[in-house]
Amino acid sequence: MLAGILGRSYQYQWEFSSTPGNFSPAQGLNTKPVYTAEEQGYYQLIISNFCSAEKDTIWVGNPVINAGQDIGTCLSDPSLTLTAKPSGGLWSGSGITDPALGTFNQAQAGLGQHQVRYVFSPELNCQYADTLLITVGGVPEVKITSSDSAQFCYKGLANLQASPYPGAVYAWYYRSDDQSSFNLLEEPSGNLIAEELGAYQVLITNQGCDQLSPPFTLNPDFQPEILPSQRPVSFCWNSDTQLQAEEIPGASYLWLFSPDLQSGFTSASGPSTFYNYKPTQSGFYQVEIKSHGCYFLSDPIEGIKTESDSVFIANVITPNGDRFNQELIIQTREVDAFQFNIFNRYGDAVFSADQSSKPWTGSGSHGVYYWIMTYPSKCQNGAIKTLRGTVTVLGETD
What is the reported pTM? 0.61
Asked whether residue 393 carries a pLDDT value surpassing 60, the answer given is yes
State yes or no: pLDDT of 398 exceeds 70: no
Residue 397 pLDDT greater than 70, yes or no: no
Give tens-digit pLDDT for 297-321.
Answer: 999 999 988 888 889 999 999 988 8
Is the per-residue pLDDT at 71 higher than 80? yes
List Cα–Cα distances, 207 to 72, 74, 111, 267, in angstroms: 10, 8, 10, 60
pLDDT at 181 over 90: yes
Q: Is 234 helix (H, G, I), strand (E, B) or coil?
A: strand
Report the b/e string of 91-124 with b at 16+ CB within 10 A: bebbbbeeeeebbbbbeebebeebebebbbebee
**Using only C-alpha atoms, what is the Rg of the chain?**
48
Q: What pLDDT score was predicted for residue 374?
A: 97
Cα angle 172-196-227, degrees, rounded to a multiple of 5: 145
Residue by residue, DSSP assigns 150-177 as: GGHHHHS-EEEEEPP-TT-EEEEEEESS
pLDDT tens by residue, 103-123: 999 999 998 999 999 998 877
For each of the domains in the chain, give its residue range(s) and CATH number, in order of start. 2-60 (no CATH), 71-137 (2.60.40.10), 144-218 (2.60.40), 226-306 (2.60.40.10), 310-393 (2.60.40)
Digit-coded pLDDT (tens) for 248-279: 999 999 999 999 999 899 998 877 779 999 99
Q: What are phi and psi of 303, to 5 degrees?
A: -115, 135
Q: Express as a percent the part of the chain with pLDDT over 90.
A: 61
Q: Are 158 and 145 in contact (CB under 8 A)?
A: no
pLDDT digits (tens, 9 = 90+) for 210-236: 999 999 999 999 999 999 988 899 888
